[in-house]
Amino acid sequence: DAKTTQPNSMESNEEEPVHLPCNHSTISGTDYIHWYRQLPSQGPEYVIHGLTSNVNNRMASLAIAEDRKSSTLILHRATLRDAAVYYCILRDGVNAGGTSYGKLTFGQGTILTVHP
Amino acid sequence: KAGVTQTPRYLIKTRGQQVTLSCSPISGHRSVSWYQQTPGQGLQFLFEYFSETQRNKGNFPGRFSGRQFSNSRSEMNVSTLELGDSALYLCASSFFQGNSPLHFGNGTRLTVT
């Protein structure tokens, strides 16, 4: 599985935007970029995913570099409830059907601390 | 819509015993995956089931096994428990399609003494 690199930790203040970076220089053409987060004492939660174009949903935005070797998860206004570990994961959206849809390779993620 | 339900939430077992954990997926989801989370190794994929068949397996010893029932509910079993099996065991369900997101339960915390 292609590897991603994220900072170990980041800090933000409440109601400010947060930009969480992810490097994935070995990404293949069929890899989608997925983001999950894990709040304390909970299982991981899907946030957003994309292939080439920037994506927005009610939780966050995903900005993908033109060469796809990096991406940024954007939380537009951080709240205390956004404090979590954020995981950037590459997932083969084309070939996964031949092997597994349920296998995600998690790295260590970025621990986001939000200050009041 | 009910989320993924895992039972029990906490479990304490003794080394050498066996344990069975249960997972009820979101209604309509037919793929169920299991993960182990420890402070040292992070989140690691155990196996995935679809249509009562194991589709993929992670790098875990044969003491870890699972099964899926016709209603998509799944169980995982760990035999001959070791101290190192203490972990949070997470179940996730999804549609069996390329980019369907995984929906995780809140896990079963297993402590082996």
Tokens of B90: 């997470």
The yes-or-no verdict on residue B26 having pLDDT over 70 is: yes
Name the residue of chain A whose CA is nearest to B53's CA. A100
pLDDT at res. A12: 97
- Assign 3-state DSSP to chain A and report helix, strand, coil percentages, each to 5: 5, 45, 50
CA angle B34, B76, B101 (to 5 degrees): 20
Task: Indicate the residue of B45, B55, B90 with minimum beta-carbon distance to A43.
Answer: B90
Nearest CA in chain A to B98: A93
Q: Do residues A34 and A22 make contact, with C-beta atoms less than 8 angstroms apart? A: no
What is the predicted pLDDT for the residue at A99? 53
Nearest CA-CA distance, residue A4 and chain B, Å: 15
Find the mean pLDDT for residues B5-13. Answer: 97
The pairs formed by B53-62 with CB atoms below 8 angstroms and a separation of 24 or more are B55/A99, B55/A100, B55/A101, B55/A102, B55/B31, B56/A99, B56/A100, B56/A102, B56/A103, B58/A103, B60/B36
What pLDDT does residue A13 have?
Answer: 97
Give the pLDDT confidence score for residue A95 in this predicted structure.
58
A93 interfacial to chain B (CB closer than 8 Å) = yes
Residues with pLDDT less than 50, chain A: none
pLDDT, residue A96, reads 52
Phi/psi of residue A97, nearest 5 degrees: -60, -25
pLDDT confidence of residue B82:
98
Q: Which residue of A has its CA nearest to B31?
A: A102
